[in-house]
Amino acid sequence: MSNPVPPDRAPDKPWRSEGAPSPEPTPPKRKMPGGWGGLILTALIVYLIANIVLSFFSDGDEPTISYTEFSKQVDAGNVTKIYSKGDAIQGQLKKAQDKPGDAKGTYTKFTTQRPAFADDKLWADLTKHDVTVTAEPVVRERSFLSNLLISLAPMLLLVFLWIFIARRMSAGMGGGGGMLGRKTPPKPVEIETGAKRTTFEDVAGIDEVEGELNDVVDFLKNPDDYRTMGAKMPRGVLLAGPPGTGKTLLARAVAGEAGVPFFSASASEFIEMIVGVGASRVRELFAEARKVAPSIIFIDEIDTIGRARGGGGAMGGHDEREQTLNQILTEMDGFSGAEGVIVLAATNRADVLDPALTRPGRFDRVVNVSPPDRGGREAILRIHTRAIPLADDVDLAQVARTTPGMTGAELANLANEAALIAVKRKQRAVTQADLSEAMEKVQLGAERPLVMPEEERRRTAYHESGHALLGMLQPGADPVRKITIVPRGRALGVTLSTPDSDKYAYTEEYLRGRIIGALGGMAAEHVVYGVVTTGAENDLEQVSAIARGMVGRWGMSERVGRLSALPADAQQAYGLSAAPETLDAIDGEMRRIVDECYENACRQLRDHRDRLDALAAALLENETLEEADAYRVAGIPRVTKGHA
């Protein structure tokens, strides 16, 4: 490959490039705003004003006095020296005198004119009063060059100031609207200095996505094979998935695997206050990518500018966003099959993208990047612990089993937290205990040094015991991994339950079991104390979300029927997505399901009151119970469900 691109000097390029060859340095041409004519006219005006001001000050320093006044000063012996050229006389007084006429101030140096008809004895008077007649002028006049330099000084200062402002404005207009827009700061270019680039070896847990992107890699490596068969590679690939699933890493891996230049930018970096700047940047980015084709352009968070366009006259930022989107659509449509430039984009809101963006011919391939399964989580943990010394007791497979639903970013954070804990404990390697504590911190929150009254601790112990016991009793429920009454995050106590294997579809029985388990804390307080506290707030939020989904989205209610009456984000659009009668029916069915589950929870806790008391007592004594201890104290056998 060619030499890597040097650090980007231009502040008007918001993208970063990797592995691109060095471009030929071409100094940018800057045009003087207003033209040189305006500068010359302004300079002349400043020159005239400066001369007038200088002449004003010059005249004020050397007043012209009458010859009569001069004779008086000579007779008074107040003249120290004079210089005469013809009838013109320059002189200097010993003591300052008031300026003649209405002029204010005093003077010591003066000029005067001796009349031609004067027959006084001037020489005798000068000799009498010891006045020195000099051979050089008393008042030295500045040379023409000095006067020119003094008068040009303000003009030169104005020229330098004008050029400085012009360059700033020129750079600003190129980088986002000049003084009116937000100037984009310089972005460092990622330089390849022989180090290994990101490849698929650095990506784990998403093998099916790699298979989709291998087509892109093969096309970039062997474009002639595809042209021979008349096949055209997708012009754009959209990576859609939750945050932290590795979409950006995948895009870098595709470029590194194919060994082609990689241009990356965030969509928000194209947006400015001045309309048209974003579109200009898009044109420049695609032009740069075409110069070094085959190459890859990656646009992160494309939903920032790729949202569906609305009708009506948009103004301001919306108009700028739409112009930027239109320019992206135009650039992608203008590709020919031989250009070898592929656009990758990432978003976690693929549902809000403009249809023109996802149609065939633009982003015509959508790759869903989902959280990894158990095997993928173990592989990701191995990648992120390559630089972390691990103790012999570390079982990454066990950690992967107890972290369902975690994304690659969350697993990387988990490994880093475990390393931080090991450093705090002055250890040489990360142990299984460090990983367990890091997982608790990530999933449950950090411990709080909160001192609770004994009665509050007892009620919290029964609350968490209610959650745990019902989780153990419910058939098909997720196993209880840990119970603690140590305050963590915003909670006074936590019961952690995770499945033995990843779940992708949920039955009505399982969801009802989830509701019963979530209501276990409130039910335990009701059974033991006969009261309900505010500690069940988060539980009720979970219960409401599950019940709403069962009734309004998943067709688990006979009364509402087999229809999806609520959107996925029902909490935002609740009340606007269905008829009032349907919403009333949904509320009624939600209440029925929750009431039935609550009665079930209370009945089971009354029937197993001895087990509830045993769990609460063990929690009060130990504060935290691990999985094996919890099942042993409750007297319930731990049955492995599904695949371990």
Q: Which residues are annotated as a binding site for Zn(2+)?
A: 463, 467, 539
Q: Return the SS3 of 451.
A: coil
Contact between 202 and 255 (Cβ < 8 Å) = no
Tell me which long-range contacts 549-555 makes (C-beta under 8 A, separation of at least 24): 549/511, 550/508, 550/511, 550/593, 551/586, 551/589, 551/590, 551/593, 552/578, 552/586
Residue position matching structure tokens 């009505």: 508
Residues making up the annotated binding site for ATP are 241-248
Give alpha helix (H) positions in 62-143: 67-75, 122-128
Pairing of strands 295-300, 480-484: unpaired
Known catalytic residue at 464:
yes
C-alpha 524/C-alpha 529 separation (Å) is: 8
Q: Which residue has the tokens 């040009």?
A: 152
Q: Give, in order, the Cα–Cα distances in Å from 359 to each of 24, 329, 333, 334, 450.
A: 37, 10, 11, 15, 56
Alpha carbon distance, N-terminus to C-terminus of the chain: 47
Helix axes 537-552, 508-518, angle to 10 degrees: 160
| Alpha helices (H) in 222-295, listed in sequence order | 223-228, 247-258, 277-291
Contacts of 532 (CB under 8 A, 6+ apart): 522, 525, 526
Q: Which residues pair with 132 in a beta bridge?
A: 81
CA distances from 180 to 38, 172, 273, 275, 331 (A): 22, 9, 7, 11, 27
Encode 504-533: b = buried (16+ Cβ within 10 Å), e = exposed: eebeeebbbbbbbbbbbbbbbbbbbeeeee
Q: Please give the full DSSP string across 594-625, using - where no structure is assigned.
A: HHHHHHHHHHHHHHTHHHHHHHHHHHHHHSEE
Check 18, 210, 301, 464 and give the catalytic one: 464
Enumerate the β-bridge partners of residue 554.
none
* Cα-Cα-Cα-Cα dihedral sign, residues 331, 334, 337, 339: negative
Is the preceding peptide bond at 115 cis, omega within 30 degrees of 0? no
**Rounded-to-integer distance, Cα 52 and Cα 480, Å:** 93
* Geometric angle at alpha carbon 243, from 239 and 247, rounded to 5°: 35
Which two structure tokens, joined as six digits, stand for 415? Answer: 């490994």
3 state DSSP class of 385: coil
Helix extents (H) in 393-499: 396-401, 408-424, 432-444, 454-473
Other C-beta atoms closer than 10 Å to the C-beta of 454 total 8
Question: How big is the CA angle at 551 (ends 549 and 552), to the nearest 5 degrees?
Answer: 65
Q: How many CB atoms lie within 10 A of CB 550?
A: 22
Q: How many CB atoms lie within 10 A of CB 431?
A: 18
Residue 295: what residue type?
Answer: S
**Residues noted as catalytic:** 464
